[in-house]
Amino acid sequence: MLLDRFDPFLAEFDRLTTRALGTPEAAGMPMDVIRQGDELIVRFDLPGVPTDKISLTVENHTLTVTAERHAPYGEGEQVLVQERFDGTMTRRLRVPDWVDGERVSADYADGVLCVRLPLAEQAKPRRVEIRTGDQAQIGS
């Protein structure tokens, strides 16, 4: 039987891990977020998760990914070490106002969920015409 005891090193390690990886529920779902052209791309690592066990929603400027993975242990097997996540995990991200939530899309291949968040038309850079001569309106 293992006894729990307070270890300041482990407490600090847990604090730093949570700070780097997010909440414990997010630790099983590492991600990268990049901007590419007119969209944000979020990639989640979900190895071993079947597509039908992944849920993706966008609501009220929040992107929610839920995934479920269960280890394939057989009857009579005794787990001695388990470091891989087993169960349901959820990750929530705040989506900026300048993302078009109606056009969000996702692909899943090789254990990586790739979510594309396109910029809304009003958030895209646009060229402004500068009027000169008779077309110019100064001060009105």
Q: Is 135 within a domain?
A: no
CATH number at residue 103: 2.60.40.790
Q: What percent of the chain has pLDDT over 70?
A: 75
Q: Is 108 within a domain?
A: yes
106-115 average pLDDT score = 96
pLDDT at position 112 is: 97
Reported as a pLDDT band with limits 50, 70 and 90, residue 1 is very low
Q: Is 132 within a domain?
A: no
Q: Is 5 within a domain?
A: no
19-30 average pLDDT score = 60
pLDDT at position 67 is: 95
Q: Estimate to the nearest angstrom the gap between the alpha carbon of 41 and the chain centroid.
A: 9
Q: Is 92 within a domain?
A: yes
What range does the domain containing 59 cover? 28-71+84-124
Closest to 88 measured CA to CA, from 114, 101, 65, 69? 69
Quote the strand ranges of 1-140, DSSP E. 31-36, 39-45, 54-59, 62-69, 87-94, 105-109, 112-118
- In terms of pTM, does the model score above 0.95? no
pLDDT at position 74 is: 85
Into how many domains does the chain fold?
1
Cα–Cα distance measured from residue 32 to residue 131, given in angstroms and rounded to the nearest whole number: 43
32 beta partners: 43
Which residue in the block uniquely carries the two structure tokens 């959820």?
A: 90
Q: Is 13 within a domain?
A: no
Cα–Cα distance measured from residue 137 to residue 47, given in angstroms and rounded to the nearest whole number: 60
Cα–Cα distance measured from residue 35 to residue 47, given in angstroms and rounded to the nearest whole number: 24
The residue that leads in pLDDT, 83 or 75, is 75
Least confident of 37-41, 44-48, 94-98: 94-98
Q: Is 7 within a domain?
A: no
Q: Which two tokens stand for residue 11?
A: 């407490």
Q: Is 4 within a domain?
A: no
